[in-house]
Structure formats: C-alpha cells, structure tokens
C-alpha cells in the first residue's frame, strides 16, 4: 500500500483496513481497491456529478500528477475524502429512521434525474434479467430452489405493469453501509460502482429486502417488517411520487430481486445464500396482498 499511497504523497501516513477492499488513511481519507477500472471510473464520474449538484458525496482526491486513479499490481485504487458520520446500525425499532431512509433514497434519485444525460450509464432491465439468465440458471438447478410455477407467477406479475414503471438512474446497491448519517441526518452517499438505469422502485425494494437477508426466519419478523416497509415507502413517496403501477408491482419487484439473488448465488455455488434468497422469495409470496400500496 505504501507504493500506492506514494502517488498521493501519503506513503508515510497511518492506515487501517475498514473493509476487505478499503482502508482509512490518516483518519481523513478512504482508499478503495478495484479489480475493474471501469467500475472505478464510473464511481468517479458519479461522485463528481453529484457533488456539482450539492449532494453529499465523497470528494475524489487527485494524485500528485493529477490522475483520479492509480494502477498497481493489476488492481486500481481510488482515494476520496472521508465523509463525516457512520452507517445506521439498526432501524427495526425505529420507524422514523425507516421513513428517513425512504426519503434519502428519493432525494438521491431526484439528483440522478439531473445528471442522466451527463453520465450515460448502463441501461438494465429487471424484467429482461428475470426472463433471461435468471430463468436459465434456476432451470439448470432443476428448479430445486423455487418451483417453476412460482417463478412464472413472479415474472408474470412483474411483466403485467413493467412498461408503466418509470426508469432512471438508480444506486442499485442500497444498504446501510452505503448511506452515512451524522445523528439522524444524512451526511453522505457512498459507492456508485453499480449505478445504472433501471426501474426506480428497485432501490427501495432492494433496501427493504436487505433487512431480511440475515433473518433465519423472516416470517417471525413479519409484523415489524411490514411496518418498516410502509414507513420506508411513505418516506420515498414523499420525495418521488409513485404511480399506480409501482404501487401494485412492489411484491413482484421484490420477488424478482430475490430470484436474481438465488440465481446468482447458485451460479457461484454458494448454496446457503441461494437457499436464503429463495426463503425470502417465498416469504414475499406469502404476503403479496399486504405489500400492494393503496
């Protein structure tokens, strides 16, 4: 790391690892390692576009020679200023913070609208992925994770209103670790490596599903989770006015996201995670009617 940090004149600074691919440097900077230079360059473009809109995103620190990245040992490195605050640790008992998270997602998407033409990022479709590689992978397993009829039900539900679902740039990786708060106030957005153009309700749905990811028995948290999802969508709708198609399609978007995870983990032979995603999928199936917003 000393060789890498020398490009910024920080090779004598103290550093410690805060993530498998990130380090804090001198208590003021964050150094992040990338295997794919395209992801790094995308993150730089998004960060700089958002900062021009006064959105709290990390400032990219250029090297002594004026470059935004350093290549070393086959990997690429990006240095940014450390943002204040820290991720929320738990909102299961805090409905106010759940609403705040919904608003936070909405505020970011409003900002994204203003820089879509400038960024021109990858266009993706949850429906196309579901009908394509996700179906192929689940079929390859002999439908051992979910039954084919369950899959068809979710795909059909998503497809019914898909043409009416607004698309725009989305974060695509909305979880606690990528949103910093100073007290109860948002202090920064992180990590735009996966930002893409897709259906906008992907982000709040993804966030809510993430709350269930480590739950061994999602059904046991049904009442709390339904209250959290209502607060989150109320906050989101306060910033991004949801249309009727979005309100009706929420359960199917969630189901197809979990199918995507099940297929992805199946592809890399992570069977515990694949089965976990399938379990969350079935939980969402069991409460579809309760997820449709009025």
Can you give the CATH number for the domain in which 7 is found? 3.30.200.20
Residue 132 in contact with residue 159, Cβ under 8 Å? no
pTM attached to this predicted model: 0.94
61 and 162 both lie in a single domain? no
Among 53, 82, 111, the domain boundary falls at 82
pLDDT at 90: 76
| 65-74 pLDDT, tens digit each | 999 999 999 9
Rg (CA), the chain: 20
61 and 92 both lie in a single domain? no
> How many domains is the chain built from?
2
The backbone torsions φ and ψ at residue 249, rounded to the nearest 5 degrees and listed phi first, read: -100, -5
Element (H, E) at 24: strand 22-25
| Percent of the chain with pLDDT strictly greater than 70 | 100
The backbone torsions φ and ψ at residue 16, rounded to the nearest 5 degrees and listed phi first, read: -150, 150
Strand-pairing partners, residue 123, are 197
| 39-61 pLDDT, tens digit each | 999 999 999 999 999 999 999 99
Domain span including residue 60: 2-82
pLDDT at 16: 94
77 and 107 both lie in a single domain? no
List all residues 6 or more positions away from 60 whose beta carbon is below 8 Å from its beta carbon: 44, 47, 48, 68, 78, 79, 80
42 and 158 both lie in a single domain? no
108 and 249 both lie in a single domain? yes
38 and 125 both lie in a single domain? no
Tokens of 18: 């805060």
188 and 280 both lie in a single domain? yes
33 and 126 both lie in a single domain? no
pLDDT at 14: 92
Among 82, 110, 143, the domain boundary falls at 82
pLDDT at 89: 73
Long-range contacts of 233-236 (CB under 8 A, 24+ apart): 233/102, 233/204, 233/293, 234/99, 234/102, 235/98, 235/99, 235/100, 235/101, 235/102, 235/103, 235/104, 235/106, 236/102, 236/103, 236/105, 236/106, 236/204
Residue carrying structure tokens 């000393």:
2
Among 82, 103, 132, the domain boundary falls at 82
| 184-215 pLDDT, tens digit each | 789 999 999 899 999 999 999 999 999 998 88
Can you give the CATH number for the domain in which 244 is found? 3.90.1200.10
Q: What is the DSSP string of 41-99?
A: HHHHHHHHHHHHTT--BPPBPPPTTS-S-EEETTEEEEEEEPPSSEE----TT-HHHHH
239 and 170 both lie in a single domain? yes
212 and 178 both lie in a single domain? yes
Mean pLDDT for the chain overall? 95
76 and 102 both lie in a single domain? no
104 and 60 both lie in a single domain? no
| 86-141 pLDDT, tens digit each | 888 778 888 998 999 999 999 999 999 999 989 989 999 999 999 999 999 999 99
């Amino acid at each position: 790391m000393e060789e890498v940090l020398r490009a910024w004149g920080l090779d004598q600074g103290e550093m410690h690892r805060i993530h498998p691919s990130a380090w804090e440097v001198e208590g003021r900077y964050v150094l992040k390692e990338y295997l794919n230079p395209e992801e790094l360059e995308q993150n730089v473009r998004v960060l700089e576009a958002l900062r021009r809109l006064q959105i709290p995103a990390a400032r990219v620190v250029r090297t002594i020679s004026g470059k935004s990245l350093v290549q070393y040992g086959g990997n690429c490195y990006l240095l940014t200023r450390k943002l204040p605050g820290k991720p929320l640790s738990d909102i299961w008992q805090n409905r106010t913070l759940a609403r705040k998270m919904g608003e936070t997602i909405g505020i970011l998407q409003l900002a994204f609208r203003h820089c879509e033409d400038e960024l021109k990022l990858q266009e993706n479709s949850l429906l196309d992925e579901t009908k394509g590689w996700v179906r192929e992978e689940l079929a390859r397993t002999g439908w051992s994770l979910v039954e084919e009829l369950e899959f068809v039900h979710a795909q059909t539900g998503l497809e019914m209103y898909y043409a009416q679902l607004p698309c725009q740039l989305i974060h695509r990786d909305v979880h606690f670790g990528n949103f910093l708060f100073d007290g109860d106030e948002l202090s920064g957005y992180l990590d735009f490596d996966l930002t893409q153009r897709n259906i906008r309700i992907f982000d709040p749905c993804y966030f809510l599903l993430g709350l269930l990811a480590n739950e061994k028995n999602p059904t046991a948290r049904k009442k709390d989770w339904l209250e959290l999802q209502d607060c989150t969508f109320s906050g989101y709708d306060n910033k991004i006015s949801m249309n009727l198609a979005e309100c009706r399609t929420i359960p199917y978007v969630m189901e197809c996201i979990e199918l995507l995870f099940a297929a992805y983990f199946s592809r890399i032979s992570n069977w515990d995670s694949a089965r976990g995603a399938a379990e969350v999928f079935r939980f969402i199936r069991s409460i579809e009617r309760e997820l449709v917003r009025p």
